[in-house]
Structure 1
Amino acid sequence: MSEQTAPDRYISFCGIECDAMADELIAKLEHNISRQTGAQQWRDYFTQKRVEQQKMGRDNLHFIGNQTNPLYEYFEDCGDELATALLYQIEQECC
């Protein structure tokens, strides 16, 4: 009988839906920006960074890995606890 444990990125990324979680977090980011939630400086910053991301052909997980701390600050500024929790999960499991 095998013991079932939580996914562990140090053993394998199998069973961890990193790309799906990253896409969901970016959707939350875009939603907050489109609703003009949080400070204008953050909305401008992430709008510019998303353009750069697309020009460089980087995926969403790569973007999140490079923007983790600013994303925490922005989601805190927005009061978006769900996005903050998802970002934490991505950081722990995927980055």
Structure 2
Amino acid sequence: MTPPDQTTDRYISFCGIECDANADKLIEMLKLNLSQKKGGGTWGQYFEMKFKEQHSVGSDNLHFIGNQLNPLYEYFEACGDSEAEALLYQIEQECC
């Protein structure tokens, strides 16, 4: 863990940055929103297709997020999930 007086910088080291844990947390938030049918429209079908693609190529959640940044921002905005949007922004800045 990084001491509190130091900031993390992905261009120097990923040490102290919880990329995988944050990615897993965001995917849990995504799946919860989808299960509650938030965001309207065809988001459920879209992400179901993308999850199948992720599984078929064996990519992890961080890779999935990196490939879906714009749709994820749009979806979480449509859901009104500012916590998920903030975590997505953090992941983008620290890990992508």
Q: How far, CA to CA, are the matches of 1:24 and 1:77 in structure 2?
A: 19
Q: How far, CA to CA, are the matches of 2:65 and 2:45 in structure 1?
A: 17
Instruction: Quote how far apart the aligned CAs of 1:39 are.
Output: 1.7
Q: Which amino acid aligns with 1:76?
A: E
Flag structure 1 segments of 5+ consecutive residues without an equivalent: none
Q: How far, CA to CA, are the matches of 1:54 and 1:35 in structure 2?
A: 22
Q: Which amino acid aligns with 1:86?
A: L
How many residue pairs get aligned? The number is: 94
Q: How far, CA to CA, are the matches of 1:85 and 1:62 in structure 2?
A: 18
CA offset digits 1:64-94 (Å, max 9, x no partner) = 0000010000000000000000000000000
What is residue 40 of structure 2 aligned with on the other side?
39
What is residue 60 of structure 2 aligned with on the other side?
59
The yes-or-no answer on 1:48 pairing with 2:49 is: yes
Give the alignment's TM-score, normalised by structure 2: 0.93
CA offset digits 1:12-55 (Å, max 9, x no partner) = 00110100000000000000110000123112111110111011
Q: How far, CA to CA, are the matches of 2:46 and 2:7 in structure 1?
A: 35
Q: Output the aligned Cα RMSD.
A: 1.5
Q: How far, CA to CA, are the matches of 2:48 and 2:79 in structure 1?
A: 15
What is residue 71 of structure 2 aligned with on the other side?
70
Flag structure 2 segments of 5+ consecutive residues without an equivalent: none
Q: How far, CA to CA, are the matches of 1:10 and 1:29 in structure 2?
A: 28
Q: How far, CA to CA, are the matches of 2:63 and 2:40 in structure 1?
A: 24
